[in-house]
Structure formats: C-alpha cells, structure tokens
Amino acid sequence: HGPVLRGAVQALFEKREMKWRLQGKGRASFLVDASSGIVLYEPEQPRDSKVTVASSLSGEELPIKLWSNVTKGQSNHGKPLDPETKAASKLLKKSFSEKRNEEKALKRALSASAGEAEREKEEEESVLKKAISLSVLDSKAEIEEEETLRQAMALSAQEFKMVEDEEGALLKAIEMSREANRT
C-alpha cells in the first residue's frame, strides 16, 4: 500500500500548493511545511439549533434588585420598561419557568425510574429465592428417590440370594436323593 498511499498524499500536497519534500531511506516519508498552502474547503462553523438568543439579559449579569424589577416589568428607577425590554423579560420568565418545569419533570422521572428499578430488583431477588428453594426441594426429592432405589436394589439382592440359596439347597437335596436311590 506504500507507493499508492505515497502518491495520494503527494497529490494532496500539490493540490493544496503546500511546500514539501520526500526524505528518509527510500524517500518513504514527507517533510511538510504545515503553514504553507491553501485551504480547499472552509470548515463549517458549528451551529446549535437548540439555542434561541432572545437578548443579552440574564439573571447572572444583572444585580439582584435590578433583576427583580425587570421581572416585575419596571426599570431600576420605578419607571415602566420599554416594550422591547418588557418582551425580553416575558421571554426570560417563560424560559425560566419552562426550565423549572423540565427540571421538575426530570426529577419525577428519575424518582419513578429509581422506584421501578428497585421494584424490579426486589422482584428478581424474590424469583431467585423461589428458584433456589425449588432447586433445594428437587435435590431433596432426588436424594430420597435415590435412597428408595438403593433400598429396593438391596432388597432385590437379598431376595435373589435367598432364591439362589433355596435353589442350591433343592439341587443338593435332589442329588442326595439320586445318590440314595443308586445305592
């Protein structure tokens, strides 16, 4: 990829009319004067479509007494405000009120979300405890079944041994009877 990339970079430097030269072993790197050349495309200025600028008035910039008067619709000297300042004041009041309402709604949503998360966590813990209890019960039932099966196998082995012993005794009696009949 080196020769292809080198050619593309070189073409860009030439297009931007930059001062540059190849250097290094095999002329594999560039030495470029970054302040030379022209800008091909002007960078787009950042825009914030969510901000509306109403006026230069804000609560942080005004003294508290003056801000209080502005929000009441009076100047600092008790005279009514001009229509433009009054409109700005109304807009600011509305903006602050909307912000306060949004903050309250956000707090309610966060509170509800926290409550919901706590309920879900408690529900999950309850389900987990039930699952563990059922698992323990299943284990106990399996152990009891295994014990019953072992006992049944032991009884069966004993019965088999008894039957085997009885058959052995019967065969021995038959053989003794045959020997007695021969003599």
Tell me the average pLDDT of the chain: 80
Q: Which of 23-27, 59-63, 83-87, 128-132 has the lowest mean pLDDT?
A: 59-63
d(CA 125, CA 128) in angstroms, rounded, equals: 5
Q: How far is CA 97 from CA 46, 100, 103, 130, in A?
A: 28, 5, 10, 49
Which residues lie across from 80 on neighbouring strands?
74
Confidence grade of residue 8 (pLDDT, cut at 50, 70, 90): confident
The predicted-structure confidence for 46-61, as pLDDT tens digits, reads as follows: 665 555 555 544 444 4
What pLDDT is recorded for position 179? 87
The predicted-structure confidence for 121-136, as pLDDT tens digits, reads as follows: 999 999 999 999 998 8
